[in-house]
């Protein structure tokens, strides 16, 4: 039985594990004891990450839709059709009539090639991926305040922190190996745990303070904590004077956010706010941890900037076990951002609007005329299908029919799409709308790299062959480029792609494959002698001085009213992953959480005469779904929570497609709904 070291396909922890192979099939997954993240442990998804790979409904041949039905096609036939259609659309309507959606599930090398295909071959910056739906606010907010939009510390540093402020992150469900480190620090070393979250989560059991704010009021409570800290003289004046700018403007803004005023907005009792502020400010080693409960708002960038303000105010950035740590959701969402699968930057966050950077990539790619405009983002691309602003769409490893907000709108747009290509492992809900479907290879069937939430670039390794005629995504993208007449995407293997990445991407300059053995390196890694960077902003911020960016509180786009009287928030559960394309095909996981449900407070359930596990109807201004009620006190009265994984009752039928004006991230965490007994 063959045993190969690789990296888990699920969350951003980036756990190292071994896959076992027997006669061409995967037979098990086991944790790596020596890996710096896993350390001999895995969550339930990691232990079972091999199971979906063997499923019989894998895509095995290219498919072309004719007369509304798919038929098998040869690779040459499918690739030639894509090249012909895309070139014709570009010729008729211009390069920006094409768009490309990359994936946080594919490798760094494949995300680089996807943005290269869009930019070098088709001359459009209409390329994006699902970071737009999770951490686009982080990239924009932390880049503006710190100069780098990434997690500042390493996962192992959680073991030495003395205080954790966690908000918008159900850490034990979403990032279990990090959640366990936090729990161990609290139990074994007496670390203080501050939770600010509308729901009671597993970590609430261990919290020194758990403040349940009203959904969508994060800027208010963060400003309130800063008001307490400044009014009590707890700010780090030496740090502020030496390493930051803009403090006086911040001080002026937050003076109005008294604990009493903040309580009116957020419902957080003023005494809890004061206690949390004092603990965070007076603890030397403090880790601020957040995830999509902070970012997925129309004020997502404001939320992130406000947290950055709080950390700088107390001197909690730029040291071991002390920093601001956005936990990235998917296995390679950090890498997909790093490698330029975004509408506004090349790899390494080099701006497409910068003429010098365009010239640099033109020389590297052997092309002329790279576009200088910022392209369309995920939600803009989908909407542009409806009015034919985008006529051709190439999707790799994304499933917007489940993951994007306002699903009825998404369906209408996909139905109006002129020519859509979907490249995936399975016939997803989105693939059903495609004109051409291409079978890709899973993480166990190809080589490459992922970059985890702590900026660790680490290897994945081929264990088995793809089924049927399926190919690695990087090979397919190269085939498409060659069919379009471009000769600059001819690689022997993924290591050759990484060599090109190293040349054009300074933060990945030292990432040679042999140096990534066995457990990878953390960027910035500037050259072949650089050891990697465990934590960011040592001595000074990436942008020089950190910038305080005071933000006033703004209400969400849609709060409850008389008719739609509940606040709905969406999220993930421990057992499942995103659109269930993978975990829904994993028997061990599916049996633990097989049906969609809505969490309702016990008082609300009593008023509506709803029993536990009874079927209910949840309706917003955009649509309705039916599912079972989960009665508990996890959510406060007047609010409800729905996991978004289930296509049978897709929560994103209900969510609003309003977006943050800067990050263009949707407001998944706040919308108004009504709940009815069936």
Average pLDDT over every residue of 594-613 = 95
Residue 421 lies inside a defined structural domain of this protein: no
* Residue 657, pLDDT score: 87
Residue 668 lies inside a defined structural domain of this protein: yes
Sorting pLDDT into bands at 50, 70 and 90, what band is 585?
confident
**How many C-beta neighbours within 10 Å does residue 392 have?**
25
Q: Domain check: are 500 and 355 in the same one?
A: yes
H or E stretch at 570: strand 566-571
* Residue 467, pLDDT score: 95
Contact in structure between 675 and 641 (CB atoms under 8 Å): no
Q: Domain check: are 337 and 319 in the same one?
A: no
CATH number, domain at 504? 3.40.50.740
End-of-domain residue from the set 300, 326, 352? 326
Average pLDDT over every residue of 209-216 = 95
Q: Domain check: are 659 and 642 in the same one?
A: yes
Mean pLDDT (the chain) is: 95
Q: Domain check: are 316 and 375 in the same one?
A: no
Contact in structure between 152 and 324 (CB atoms under 8 Å): yes
End-of-domain residue from the set 495, 511, 527? 511
Contact in structure between 402 and 650 (CB atoms under 8 Å): yes
* Residue 15, pLDDT score: 96
- In terms of residue numbers, what domain contains 636? 566-677
* Residue 69, pLDDT score: 96
Residue 56 lies inside a defined structural domain of this protein: no
The string of pLDDT tens digits covering residues 452-497 is 999 999 999 999 999 999 999 999 999 999 999 999 999 999 999 9
Residue 578 has pLDDT above 90, yes or no: no
Residue 504 lies inside a defined structural domain of this protein: yes
- Residue 326, class by beta-carbon neighbours within 10 Å (0-12 exposed, 13-18 middle, 19+ buried)? buried
The two tokens of residue 607 are 């008023």
CATH number, domain at 217? 3.40.228.10
Which residues, 6+ apart, have CB-to-CB distance to 53 below 8 Å? 26, 442, 444, 445, 464
Sorting pLDDT into bands at 50, 70 and 90, what band is 645?
confident
Residue 98 lies inside a defined structural domain of this protein: yes
The string of pLDDT tens digits covering residues 136-154 is 899 999 999 999 989 999 9
What whole-number distance in Å separates Cα of residue 423 and Cα of residue 326? 29
Q: Domain check: are 293 and 397 in the same one?
A: no
Q: Which of 245-259, 375-389, 400-414 has the lowest mean pLDDT?
A: 400-414
Sorting pLDDT into bands at 50, 70 and 90, what band is 4?
very high
What whole-number distance in Å separates Cα of residue 334 and Cα of residue 153? 14
The string of pLDDT tens digits covering residues 397-442 is 999 888 888 888 999 999 999 999 999 999 999 999 999 999 999 9
The string of pLDDT tens digits covering residues 655-676 is 998 998 998 888 989 999 999 9
Q: Domain check: are 644 and 574 in the same one?
A: yes
Residue of 482, 407, 645 whose CA lies nearest to 79: 482
Q: Domain check: are 188 and 174 in the same one?
A: yes
Contact in structure between 41 and 31 (CB atoms under 8 Å): yes
Provide the percentage of residues in the chain whose pLDDT is more than 90. 88
Q: Domain check: are 461 and 574 in the same one?
A: no
Q: Domain check: are 308 and 361 in the same one?
A: no
Q: How many domains does the chain have?
A: 3
End-of-domain residue from the set 487, 511, 535? 511
pTM of the shown model: 0.94
Average pLDDT over every residue of 219-230 = 98
* Residue 478, pLDDT score: 98
* Residue 502, pLDDT score: 97
* Residue 479, pLDDT score: 97
* Residue 394, pLDDT score: 98
The string of pLDDT tens digits covering residues 98-134 is 999 999 999 999 999 999 999 999 999 999 998 887 7
Which residues, 6+ apart, have CB-to-CB distance to 658 below 8 Å? 298, 557, 558, 666, 667
Q: What share of the chain is helix, strand, coil (3-state, %, to 5)?
A: 35, 20, 40
Torsion sign over Cα 222, 227, 232, 238 = positive
Residue 6 has pLDDT above 90, yes or no: yes
Q: Domain check: are 344 and 473 in the same one?
A: yes
The string of pLDDT tens digits covering residues 258-271 is 999 999 999 999 99
Contact in structure between 542 and 627 (CB atoms under 8 Å): no
Residue 262 lies inside a defined structural domain of this protein: yes
Sorting pLDDT into bands at 50, 70 and 90, what band is 317?
very high
The string of pLDDT tens digits covering residues 152-192 is 999 999 999 999 999 999 999 999 999 999 999 999 999 99
The string of pLDDT tens digits covering residues 55-110 is 889 999 999 999 999 999 999 999 999 999 999 999 999 999 999 999 999 999 99
* Residue 485, pLDDT score: 95
Residue 339 lies inside a defined structural domain of this protein: yes
Residue 522 lies inside a defined structural domain of this protein: no
Q: Which residues pair with 17 in a beta bridge?
A: 6, 31
Query: In 185-311, which ranges are E strands?
Result: 192-196, 209-211, 244-245, 286-290
The string of pLDDT tens digits covering residues 273-306 is 999 999 999 999 999 999 989 999 999 999 999 9
Residue of 492, 86, 120, 83 whose CA lies nearest to 340: 120
Q: Domain check: are 203 and 228 in the same one?
A: yes
CATH number, domain at 609? 2.40.40.20
Distance of CA 293 to the CA centre of its chain: 12
User: Would strands 521-522 and 615-620 be described as parallel, antiparallel, or unpaired?
Assistant: unpaired
Contact in structure between 525 and 510 (CB atoms under 8 Å): yes
Q: Domain check: are 164 and 288 in the same one?
A: yes
């Amino acid at each position: 039985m063959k045993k190969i070291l690789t990296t888990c396909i699920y969350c951003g922890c980036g756990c190292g594990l071994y896959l076992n192979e027997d006669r061409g099939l995967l037979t098990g997954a086991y944790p790596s004891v020596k890996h710096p993240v896993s350390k001999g442990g895995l969550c339930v998804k990691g232990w079972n990450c091999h199971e979906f790979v063997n499923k019989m409904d894998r895509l095995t041949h290219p498919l072309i839709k004719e007369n509304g039905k798919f038929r098998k096609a040869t690779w040459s036939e499918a690739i030639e059709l894509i090249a012909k259609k895309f070139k014709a659309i570009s010729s008729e309507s211009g390069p920006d009539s094409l768009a490309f959606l990359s994936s946080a599930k594919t490798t760094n090398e494949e995300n680089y090639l996807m943005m290269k295909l869009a930019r070098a071959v088709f001359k459009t910056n209409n390329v994006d991926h699902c970071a737009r739906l999770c951490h686009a606010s982080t990239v924009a907010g932390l880049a503006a305040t710190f100069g780098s939009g990434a997690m500042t510390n390493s996962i192992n540093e959680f073991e030495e922190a003395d205080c954790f402020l966690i908000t918008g992150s159900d850490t034990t469900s979403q990032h279990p190996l990090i959640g366990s480190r936090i729990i161990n620090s609290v139990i074994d070393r007496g670390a203080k745990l501050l939770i600010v979250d509308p729901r009671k989560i597993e970590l609430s059991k261990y919290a020194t303070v758990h403040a349940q704010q009203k959904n969508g009021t994060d800027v208010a409570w963060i400003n309130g904590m800063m008001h307490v800290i400044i009014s009590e003289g707890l700010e780090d004046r030496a740090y502020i004077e030496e390493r930051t700018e803009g403090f006086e403007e911040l001080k002026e803004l937050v003076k109005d956010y008294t604990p009493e005023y903040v309580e009116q907005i957020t419902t957080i009792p003023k005494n809890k706010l004061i206690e949390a502020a004092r603990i965070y400010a007076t603890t030397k080693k403090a880790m601020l941890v957040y995830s999509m409960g902070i970012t997925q708002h129309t004020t997502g960038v404001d939320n992130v900037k406000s947290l950055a303000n709080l950390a700088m105010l107390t001197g909690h950035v730029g040291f071991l076990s002390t920093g601001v740590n956005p936990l990235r959701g998917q296995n390679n969402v950090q890498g997909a951002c790093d490698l330029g699968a975004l509408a506004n930057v090349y790899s390494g966050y080099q701006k497409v609007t910068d003429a010098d950077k365009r010239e640099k990539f033109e020389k590297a790619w052997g092309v002329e005329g790279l576009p200088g405009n910022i392209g369309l983002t995920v939600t803009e691309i989908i909407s542009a299908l409806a009015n034919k602003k985008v006529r051709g769409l190439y999707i790799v490893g994304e499933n917007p029919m489940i993951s994007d907000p306002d699903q009825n709108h998404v369906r209408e747009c996909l139905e109006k799409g002129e020519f859509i290509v979907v490249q995936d492992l399975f016939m997803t809900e989105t693939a059903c709308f495609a004109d051409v479907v291409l079978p890709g290879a899973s993480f166990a069937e190809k080589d490459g790299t992922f970059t985890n939430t702590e900026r660790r670039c680490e290897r994945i390794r081929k264990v088995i062959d793809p089924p049927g005629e399926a190919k690695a995504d990087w090979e397919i993208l190269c085939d498409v480029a060659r069919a379009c007449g471009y000769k600059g995407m001819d690689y022997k293997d993924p290591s050759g792609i990484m060599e090109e990445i190293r040349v054009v991407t300074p933060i990945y300059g030292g990432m040679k494959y042999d140096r990534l053995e066995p457990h990878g390196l953390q960027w910035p890694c500037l050259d072949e002698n650089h050891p990697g960077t465990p934590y960011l902003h040592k001595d000074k911020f990436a942008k020089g001085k950190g910038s305080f960016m005071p933000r006033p509180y703004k209400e969400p786009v849609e709060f409850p009213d008389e008719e739609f009287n509940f606040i709905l928030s969406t999220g993930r559960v421990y057992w499942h992953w995103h659109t269930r394309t993978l975990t829904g095909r994993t028997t061990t996981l599916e049996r633990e959480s097989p049906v969609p449900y809505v969490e309702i407070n016990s008082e609300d359930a009593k008023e509506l005469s709803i029993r536990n596990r009874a079927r209910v109807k949840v309706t917003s201004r955009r649509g309705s779904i039916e599912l079972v009620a989960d009665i508990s006190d996890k959510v406060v009265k007047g609010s409800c929570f729905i996991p978004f994984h289930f296509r049978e009752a897709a929560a994103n039928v209900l969510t609003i497609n309003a977006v943050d004006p800067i990050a263009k991230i949707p407001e998944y965490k706040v919308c108004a709904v009504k709940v009815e007994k069936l």
